Amino acid sequence: MPTAAAQTPAAPTSAGPGRFLSIADVVAETSLSRATIYRMVAAGAFPARIRVSANRVAWTEAAVQAWKHQRIASPPT
The answer to whether residue 5 sits within a structural domain is no
The answer to whether residue 63 sits within a structural domain is yes
* pLDDT score of 39 more than 50: yes
The answer to whether residue 32 sits within a structural domain is yes
* pLDDT score of 8 more than 60: no
| Residue 30 to residue 37: CA distance in whole angstroms | 9
CA quadruple 34, 40, 44, 46: dihedral positive or negative? negative
Residue-range definition of the domain harbouring residue 55: 18-73
The answer to whether residue 65 sits within a structural domain is yes
| Residue 58 to residue 38: CA distance in whole angstroms | 12
Q: Residues 45-67: what's their mean pLDDT?
A: 96
The answer to whether residue 8 sits within a structural domain is no
- Distance of CA 45 to CAs 4, 6, 63, 67, 73, Å? 30, 29, 12, 9, 15
CATH number of the domain encompassing residue 63: 1.10.1660
What 3-state class would DSSP assign to 66? helix
- Work out the mean pLDDT of the chain and round it to a whole number: 85
* pLDDT tens-digit series, residues 16-25: 778 999 999 9
